[in-house]
Amino acid sequence: MYYNTFPPFRNGKQANQKKQPIPSVVNNNNSSSNGSSSNKDDSGTTTSPISNKTTTIVSSNNALSYSTTSANYSCKTQDSDIISWPLTPEAAVGYFASRLTSWELSEISKYPQSWYLGQDAVRKISGEKTNPLNAGYDDENGNYHKVTRDHLAYRYEILEVIGKGSFGQVIKAIDHKTQSQVAIKIIRNKKRFHAQALVEVKILEHLRKRDHDNTVIRMFSSFYFRNHLCIVFELMSLNLYELIRRNHYQGFSTGLIRKFAVSLLKCLALLKKENIIHCDLKPENILLRRRGSSAIKVIDFGSSCFVGNWSF
């Protein structure tokens, strides 16, 4: 595997190449990119934004330096012209050519808008066409090589891996367009996993329009990036198995169990009505919506199918 290593910059000065903390939330702008201080999904669930655009990038002597105080950025040239994100491919290359790999300099032309370029990543993988493992972006099992603080599709910032399975991996990320944190399922670059993931997307899209009780994980979108199908979800909290373990396997009150059971039964009733079989229902696939809440949602429809369309 080949890497390009970039020293991170802070306040115009080169910093040590140790892991940098996630940017703190600083709001120097009264409005976000969509004119609101929060975001709502189709169910009306409100997600808090990471922050509004506050970072200034100053061009001096044909070199770029930047300070990071938020998840999003605005640019300021030597002539004090403000350039706001998203950037066109030409603008992105013009301002960040030294921070992009040769692969990205070509690849970025396919993306009309760029919200994040991985400029905070200490290292980047240099795509090599001669590398048989997806130009070096995959391991031998077809899993995508995750690089912390690098981008996905010039929009999402990779933070950490929060789940793994035979399908691939799930990462926690910042969506720089909506300024919110999300979970992204990156499917392995293998034909059989890709085919089943397409079924999962179809089922989730079907349920999104019919889940009036909000008992199913919310899928925001899906996209392809470097031969991987990626599915974007709302970010949830603990799963029920982890909650049981943290409670030292002592069980819960009947009142709490009743709340869990009612939500789960509503989800099962919905699946029955829509002729969908989950196929992998277990405590690990039932998540709390947020820490401290008793509201739950069912996740992981990666093994699911419509009745009569068996995939196993």
- Round to whole Å and give the CA distance between 216 and 203: 11
Q: Is 280 one of the annotated active-site residues of the chain?
A: yes
Matching residue, tokens 């909506």: 178
Matching residue, tokens 């603990």: 238
Residues annotated as binding site for ATP?
Answer: 185
Residues annotated as binding site?
Answer: 185
Helices (H) and strands (E) in the chain, counts: 5, 20
What value does the CA radius of gyration of the chain take, rounded to a whole number of Å?
21
Which of 36, 46, 24 shows the shortest CA–CA distance to 289? 46
By the 8 A CB rule, do 270 and 262 touch? no
Which entry of 41, 81, 175, 280 is annotated as an active-site residue?
A: 280
- Round to whole Å and give the CA distance between 311 and 309: 6
Q: Residue 102 corresponds to which tokens in the numbers above?
A: 């040769």
By the 8 A CB rule, do 193 and 187 touch? yes
Query: What would the DSSP string read from start to end of 278-310?
Result: -S--SGGGEEESSTT---EEE---TT-EETT--
- Round to whole Å and give the CA distance between 83 and 167: 40
Which of the residues are catalytic? Answer: 280
